[in-house]
Amino acid sequence: MRTRSVAMFMLSLVIVATPAAEAADATKEDLVKSLTCKPGQEACEAPPPPVSHRRGFSPPPARRGITFEPFTEEGRKNLDDAAKAGKLPSADLEVYFDYDKADVTELARKSLGPLGQALNDPKLIENRFILVGHTDAKGGDAYNQALSERRAAAVKEFLVRSFGIAPERLVSYGRGKSALKNSSDPLAPENRRVQIINNGVVAGAERKP
């Protein structure tokens, strides 16, 4: 019986951190480098629409500078595929939860600290991130789906509350056991994770020179 479950952040450049000691080694600088848009990742490089401050002028509704949206099953699968293919920036970071719980533990806070600092870095401050909860294959579909959603939501709440990150920069949802990272070992701890995906420029953001 497992006594502790693990949550992990993932985008295209992978920082493998399986043991707790290694997970703690991921620094703010590591995560900023991993999550920053790189040449060829146009999905998160697209500039936002211009914002006008002229009196009496109402610009058209802003569009996000992204090509992947997480609000349908098809969109979520496209996000999964884009992260795996390196079309969106990625990094792995383990976050520890107690068995069958979604509360952010003290160990989880230590892992999430550098992430919260990274998301507030000027290189990432204009971007939106998707938090995707995953479980291993133990248990039923409905149970794992609900648990993954609760854990992703708990991570979002912690980042908003502890680091002042604007809620509109974070979207959370769960995938249960439908997208195993290690399909050859369905009960492997790396399957119990929270994936974070850099999903492009937030609507209305003004790029800094």
Structural domain boundaries in the chain: 4-38+65-201
Whether the model pTM is above 0.85:
no
Provide the angle, in degrees to the nearest 10, between the axes of the packed helices 141-163 and 106-119.
Answer: 60
Contacts of 21 (CB under 8 A, 6+ apart): none
**E runs forming strands in the chain:** 4-9, 93-98, 127-134, 170-174, 193-201
Q: Using alpha carbons only, what angle is made at residue 154 by residues 194 and 131, rounded to the nearest 5 degrees?
A: 35
**pLDDT tens for the 209 residues of the chain, in order:** 444 433 333 332 232 323 333 344 679 999 999 899 888 776 666 544 444 444 443 444 444 444 456 778 888 888 878 888 888 887 777 777 777 888 998 988 988 999 999 999 999 998 999 888 888 898 999 999 999 999 899 999 999 999 999 999 999 988 899 888 889 999 887 787 778 888 887 754 444 44
Helices marked H in 65-206: 73-85, 106-119, 141-163
pLDDT for 46 equals 54
Distance CA 93, CA 115 (A): 9
Domain 4-38+65-201: which CATH class? Answer: alpha beta
Q: For the chain, what percent of residues have pLDDT higher than 70?
A: 71
Look at residue 113 in the predicted model and tell me its pLDDT. Answer: 94
CB 24 within 8 A of CB 108: no
- What is the model's pLDDT at position 17? 29
Nearest alpha-carbon partner for 163 in 98, 117, 203: 117
Q: How far apart are alpha carbons 202 and 173 in whole angstroms? A: 18
